[in-house]
Chains A and B, each alone.
Chain A
Amino acid sequence: NAGVTQTPKFRVLKTGQSMTLLCAQDMNHEYMYWYRQDPGMGLRLIHYSVGEGTTAKGEVPDGYNVSRLKKQNFLLGLESAAPSQTSVYFCASSRTSELPGEQYFGPGTRLTVT
């Protein structure tokens, strides 16, 4: 099993450009999450999904959109990138909310917006 994979690993964008980050999991997990990690801030939840076709906002959703068209994939979109979105983005998945927080994380995507 590959677990949770993220594409791409690195990306540099110019202000105003758009991009999509792809997360895939092969563990048949129901829940999927997108976080961003910034120095001194820990991991902050952007959006999450409790099942195929459903999404919900997390702590810091502004400037991002998500889609969960297939159970195994969770896409994070930036429509018009801003320097404040320079960060490391992590995707995670979990079986259910019965053990809340026991999530499996991908390796991360380092995004720089200039």
Chain B
Amino acid sequence: DQQVKQNSPSLSVQEGRISILNCDYTNSMFDYFLWYKKYPAEGPTFLISISSIKDKNEDGRFTVFLNKSAKHLSLHIVPSQPGDSAVYFCAASRYDKVIFGPGTSLSVIP
């Protein structure tokens, strides 16, 4: 049973519009959440994170929202750019344990 779920395997967005990637988790003990971005033939790279004591964290065009009661987080990318086309992994952690979701492939269409 997956503890971290990304129910949309893929997403297409027009350049300049907002991309919203969603993630759900089942274990309420997770206290730190992250998003990673992965290009083909490369390793994942850390994008943005949020602690469970916060409900929002921003870094430039990227914002992560956390809804603890719903066990849901989302990544907003505004405005979306063609270079954002990649696979995005959501991850949840507690202590040394990090669980990754299956990923969502984002395509930003010029």
How many residues does chain A have at the interface if contact means C-beta atoms less than 8 Å apart? Answer: 24
Interchain CB contact under 8 A, B93 and A42: no
Q: Which of A44, A92, A100 contacts B43 (CB 8 A)?
A: A92
Query: Does B59 interact with chain A (Cβ within 8 Å)?
Result: no
Known: A108-B41, A108-B42. A101 touches B102 (CB 8 A): no
Q: Identify which of residues 88-114 in chain A touch chain B, using a CB-to-CB cut-off of 8 Å.
A: 90, 92, 97, 99-108
Cβ contacts A28-55/B at 8 Å (1 or 0 each): 0001000100001111110010100000
Chief secondary structure at chain A's binding surface: strand
Task: Contact check, A42 vs B46: say whether CB atoms are below 8 A apart.
Answer: no
A4 lies within 8 A of chain B by Cβ: yes
Interface of B is mostly: strand
- Total contacts A to B, CB within 8 angstroms? 57
Please measure, in the bound complex, the distance between the C-alpha atom of A90 and the C-alpha atom of B92, giving whole angstroms: 18
Q: Kindly provide the distance from the CB of A97 to the nearest chain B CB, expressed in whole angstroms.
A: 5
Q: Which residue of chain B has the shortest Cβ distance to A102 in the bound complex?
A: B46
B residues within 8 A CB of A107? 41-43
Chain B, interface size category, equals: 20 to 34
With A and B bound together, what is the CA distance between A108 and B91 in angstroms?
19
Q: Which residues of chain B come closer than 8 Å to A105, judged between CB atoms?
A: 43-45
Partner of A43, one of B2, B32, B44, B45: B44
Check if A45 sits within 8 Å of B41, measured CB to CB: no
Report the minimal beta-carbon distance from A17 to chain B, rounded to whole angstroms: 25
Contacts of A106 in B (CB 8 A): 43
